[in-house]
Amino acid sequence: MPKSRAQGALAVDDATDRLRALVVSGEIAPGERLVERHLAERLGLSRIPVREALQTLVAEGFAVERRTGGVAVREHRADDVAELLEIAHALDAVACRRMLVARTDVTELREVLHRGARALAEDRHDDAVELNARFHAVLTDLAPAPMVRETTRPLRQVLGWLLRRHADPGLIHAQHVSLVDALESGDGARLEQVLGAHARTSLEALEGTR
């Protein structure tokens, strides 16, 4: 790739990462217009990488093209978020069942759980929420399920944004521990119980964030 094209691609990646971070942090609120010129000035970039970054955010589900023109941060209805959660848990269930059959090493998941336990003990709520989301990312990376991995990544990005203020990260963490215990012991029946409980808990926690 010529140097100028490589630099252009890096500028787009940088603009995308920075704009996504502004949305996820809440600095740019749901429904707010994403004006290319203003964002370019704010980020200290030219308008071209910002324009391409906005299209990436639309494709990822963080933004939407307005009928009247332009782009805005996407607003999700409660029913939309509940549906996304159901889809994510269904994909996680496929990943877990494949891990159970393959007897996948769960050491990396244990490390995420250890860090999550420490965050909870130190009352670092935001870190605990982030590590709960990280758990699912590692789970799908470890699972011998490439199609699940490909489908889940953009979905998890959006869910991580929408549920960043989870009502009870401690309860979710405890269920993650039970899930890994079931995987490690090869207990299929227990795994199914935990998967069902985890799906119900996430939906109930969603109710608590509304």
Question: Do residues 53 and 19 lie in contact, with contact meaning Cβ atoms separated by under 8 Å?
Answer: yes
Q: Quick one: how far is CA 190 from the chain centroid?
A: 26
Q: What are phi and psi of 72, to 5 degrees?
A: -135, 155
Domain architecture of the chain: domains with CATH: 3-73 (1.10.10.10), 78-209 (1.20.120.530)
Task: Give percent of the chain with pLDDT exceeding 70.
Answer: 90
- What pLDDT does 179 receive? 95
- What pLDDT does 78 receive? 78
Q: How far apart are CA 56 and CA 158, in angstroms?
A: 13
Residue type, 186: G
- What pLDDT does 206 receive? 64
Is the Cα dihedral 73, 78, 82, 85 positive or negative? positive
Alpha helices in the chain (DSSP H): 3-25, 36-43, 47-60, 78-102, 107-121, 125-142, 146-162, 169-185, 188-209
Q: What are phi and psi of 65, to 5 degrees?
A: -80, 130
Query: Could you identify the residue written with the tokens 């215990």?
Result: 181
Other Cβ atoms closer than 10 A to 27: 10
Residue type, 2: P
Q: Identify the segments of the chain with pLDDT beneath 70.
A: 1-9, 163-167, 205-210
Q: How far apart are CA 121 and CA 117, in angstroms?
A: 6
Q: How far apart are CA 59 and CA 54, in angstroms?
A: 9
